[in-house]
Amino acid sequence: MWADGWLILAGYLLGSIPFGLVVARLRGGIDLRRVGSGNIGATNVLRVVGKGAAAFTLLGDIGKGALAVGLGRWANVAPAVLALIALAAVLGHLLPVFNRFQGGKGVATTLGVILAAMPAVGGLLLLIWLLVAAVSRYSSLAALTATTAMPFLTWLVDGRPAMLALSGVLAILVVARHRENIARLWRGTEGKIGEKARTNQGTQG
């Protein structure tokens, strides 16, 4: 029981690492919270700093989620505990203790935990994101499409109750964090992938 609790805490702390802030500071001397959308995720890094920095941020945000779940799998925890570790990692990104609980949108870290917990589902989510992003050029639309498909894919491919619950909760959290993006998509004012930073505009992270 104690070991499970420490793993959940470790998941949250790993998720709290603000890779976007660190990369933007190191690569461009930029405080990511004060430019572009103010979001600490990879999309804002792409618009403000560039492709290389965004790639590092994306890999870091995916990797921290995958590492958290990987630790749980290494410890051979029960599926319910693994789901809690995964949720803790995403909550760490959304509400990071290392950044005054002001985090990103949770897309990349969600992908990381799902890839580690359910590789087949994670692979399908990545494929959906890439296809929608390539066609629409909207990062937020790609993220929302993949996220809302996640519970159905989990039911279809995995089926474990704990993973179904995890995918449902994560889908709700990510969609809720994208409510402003949804409004901009509806109005036709959402920024597309590759566009320069706009004030008060955010997508995934």
Give kind and range of the element (H or E) at residue 53. Answer: helix 51-74
137-162: per-residue pLDDT in tens?
998 999 999 999 999 999 999 999 99
Maximum Cα–Cα distance across the chain: 50
What's the confidence (pLDDT) of residue 196?
61
Cβ atoms of residues 140 and 129 within 8 Å: no
At residue 180, what is the residue type? E
How high is the pLDDT of residue 53? 84
Kindly report, residue by residue over 45-55, the tens digit of the pLDDT: 887 888 888 89
CA distances in angstroms from 96 to 50, 78, 113, 125, 193, listed in the order given: 24, 26, 16, 24, 26
CA distance 41 to 125: 18
Contact call for residues 129 and 142 (beta carbons, < 8 A): yes
CA 188 to chain CA centroid, Å, is 24
pLDDT higher than 50, residue 166 = yes
Q: In whole angstroms, how large is the CA radius of gyration of the chain? A: 16
